[in-house]
Structure 1
Amino acid sequence: MEQFRSFDQLRTNQLIIIRNGFFRPSFELSDGQFSYGKLSYGNIWKTTMILESAQKTWVIKRKAFFSRTLLIKDTYDIELGEVTPEILTRKVKLSMNNGFDAIYAYKKLFTRTFSLTSDQYGDILSVKTAMWGFKKPFEVSVDLDKLKTIPDMPLLVLLGVNLILIKQAQAAAAAGS
Structure 2
Amino acid sequence: MINNFRNFDQIKTNELFITRHKWFFPYYELTDGQLVYGKLSYKSHWRKYAIIETAEGSWTIKHKGWFKCAMLLNKDDDQTIGTIEPQRWKRDTLLKLDNGFEATYLYKKLFTKALTLASAAQGDILQIIQKPFGIKTPFKIQIDASPQKVNLNIPLFTLIGVNLILLRQAQAAAAVSA
TM-score category (smaller protein): over 0.9
Distance 2:177 2:87 in 1: 24
Distance 2:99 2:175 in 1: 36
Is the Cα contact below 8 Å between 1:17 and 1:27 reproduced in 2? yes
Once superposed, what is the RMSD of the aligned Cα atoms?
1.0
Please, which moves more after superposition, 132-141 or 44-53? Answer: 44-53
Structure 2 residue 77 is matched with structure 1 residue 79: no
Structure 2 residue 7 is matched with structure 1 residue 11: no
TM-score normalised per structure 1: 0.96
Distance 1:40 1:73 in 2: 15
Partner of 1:109: 110
Report SS of the residue matched to 2:20: strand
Partner of 1:141: 142
Partner of 2:38: 37
State the AA in 1 paired with 2:51. I
Is the Cα contact below 8 Å between 2:122 and 2:149 reproduced in 1? no
Distance 1:77 1:98 in 2: 17
Q: How many residues align?
A: 176
Report SS of the residue matched to 2:89: coil
Q: Where do 5+ consecutive residues of structure 1 fail to align?
A: none
Report SS of the residue matched to 1:170: helix
Displacement of 1:85 in angstroms is 0.5
Distance 2:77 2:90 in 1: 33
Q: Which runs of 4+ in 1 moved over 4 A?
A: none
Q: Deviations over 1:17-43 (max 9, x none)?
A: 000001100000000010000000012
Report SS of the residue matched to 2:3: coil
Is the Cα contact below 8 Å between 2:18 and 2:30 reproduced in 1? yes
Q: Deviations over 1:64-110 (max 9, x none)?
A: 11110010001151100000001001100000000000000100001
- Give matches, 1:129-168, under 5 Å: 129-145=130-146, 146-150=148-152, 152-168=153-169
Displacement of 1:149 in angstroms is 3.3
